[in-house]
Amino acid sequence: MEQREIWDVDAAQRYDTPGVGMFAPEVVGPTVDRLAGLAGTGRALEFAIGTGRVAIPLAARGVPVTGIELSLPMIERLRARADEAAIPVIVGDMATAVAPGTYALVYLVYNTISNLLTQTEQVACFRNAARHLAPGGHFVIELWVPELRKLPPGQQAVVWQADPDYIALDTYDVLHQHVVSHHIRLEENGEARLARSHHRYIWPAELDLMAQLAGFELETRHADWHGTAFTTESRSHVSVYRIPANRSI
């Protein structure tokens, strides 16, 4: 199944959880603070902008934001909150679609680069980010760390969240570096709703090599948007890459 088919109308409606989960102020606030600081007085481009979870509050901070998004239903939900003049969106894949102009910041949040299911596409995404950046510009990626250490021999699944009304687990294909995330939501009537998403997981070291291939330098890596130190126990990271200021366009 293609990504545009996964992010259909139903998925777009379920994506937004105002005030909770990834939409909680304590999640969105530090993300926007960090991105606004990196953008400075320049423009920002969000790959896979979705429904505008980050782009809308970032634009409200005075940062001009443009987006690239493959899913038309996601764009429609964004348009209910911000029109084309406020946040322009180019319909297309984040590995290949081109937005007009150059930017001080390109960013990918909440594990989105893993939606590209081959290494070739992921490298192309880095190169697409580099294509859009002015010299000295930044490319920011938020990504989880594969939890293979939790897999004993012969086991393929890791449960990473278990609440009374929600269970989430990942099944790993370590040969092809693929993960399927299974999201099970328990309804009040006793029924269960299952949603799945497919990913290609990336180790931090592999991510850094992709960046080098596209001409980036790693500037910082933290465990979260607050700037917590990244360690061997960190479950995710925010990596900031930089195009050298002396690069010729």
Q: What is the pLDDT of residue 13?
A: 57
CATH number at residue 154: 2.20.25
Query: If we measure between CA atoms, which residue out of 41, 40, 58 comes closest to residue 49?
Result: 58
Residue of 15 and 33 predicted with greater confidence:
33
Residue 154 contacts by C-beta under 8 Å, 6 or more apart in sequence? none
pLDDT at 17 over 70: no
Same domain membership, residue 165 and residue 230: no
Q: Examine residue 210 and state whether it is found in any structural domain, yes or no.
A: yes
224 in any annotated domain: yes
Average pLDDT of the residues in 194-222: 96
User: Pairing state of beta strands 236-242 and 133-144?
Assistant: antiparallel
What's phi and psi for 68, nearest 5 deg? -120, 130
In a domain, 249, yes or no: no
**Sheet harboring 236-242: ordered strands across?**
89-91, 65-69, 44-47, 103-108, 133-144, 236-242, 217-222
Grade residue 190 by pLDDT with cuts at 50, 70 and 90: confident
Whether residues 52 and 106 share a domain: the answer is yes
Q: How many domains does the chain have?
A: 2
**What's the average model confidence in pLDDT over 165-169?**
91
Q: What is the pLDDT of residue 149?
A: 87
**Per the domain annotation, does 53 fall within a domain?**
yes
Q: What is the CATH number of the domain that holds 103?
A: 3.40.50.150
Shared domain for 119 and 13, answered yes or no, is yes
Q: Are residues 110 and 140 in the same domain?
A: yes
180 and 211 assigned to the same domain: no
51 with 105, same domain: the answer is yes
Q: Three-class SS of residue 232?
A: coil
Q: Do 28 and 96 fall into the same domain?
A: yes
- Domain extent, residue 112, equals 3-145+202-242
The reply to whether 52 and 160 lie within a common domain is: no
